[in-house]
């Protein structure tokens, strides 16, 4: 009985996380279209977007591209992967000044197949 309750709670949590990811993606899309009048077609990720992305991906237990493509819809999986790869470089370059050690450890392991 307890394991069934745990599984249900876990599924509800995963559903909440996926809903939050969808909400963040919609906000990012809206933010992108707000800037469509500028010369740059690149999406603009704020520091808050990056932190939310890292938090959600960590909660989903993602550690490499295969897991991204399994747990995030295909249309955005490559966008998420490349953003995380970029952030990994930033986090590893700035590790001396970066305060969140759990993110730093996660990025150190990200992309390494276990």
Average pLDDT of the residues in 10-33: 75
* pLDDT tens digit sequence for 81-105: 778 777 777 766 665 555 555 665 6
> Is there a contact between 60 and 71 (Cβ–Cβ < 8 Å)?
yes
Is residue 73 within 8 Å of residue 60, measured between CB atoms? no
List the chain domain ranges: 2-32+45-109
* pLDDT > 90 fraction of the chain, expressed in percent and rounded: 0
**pLDDT over 50 (residue 114):** no
- Summarize pLDDT for 62-76 with one digit per residue, the tens: 777 777 778 777 667
Question: Helices 47-59 and 74-93: crossing angle, nearest 10°?
Answer: 110
Distance CA 64, CA 16 (A): 22
Provide mean pLDDT across the span 10-16: 74
């Amino acid at each position: 009985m307890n394991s069934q309750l745990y599984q249900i709670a876990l599924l509800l949590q995963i559903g909440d996380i996926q809903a939050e990811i969808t909400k963040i993606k919609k906000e990012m899309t809206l933010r992108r279209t707000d800037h469509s009048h500028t010369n740059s077609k690149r999406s603009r990720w704020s520091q808050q977007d990056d932190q939310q992305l890292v938090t959600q991906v960590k909660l989903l237990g993602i550690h490499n591209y295969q897991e991204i493509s399994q747990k995030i819809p295909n249309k955005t999986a490559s966008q998420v992967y490349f953003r995380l790869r970029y952030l990994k470089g930033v986090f590893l370059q700035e590790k001396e000044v970066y305060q969140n050690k759990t993110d730093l450890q996660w990025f150190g392991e990200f992309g390494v197949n276990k």
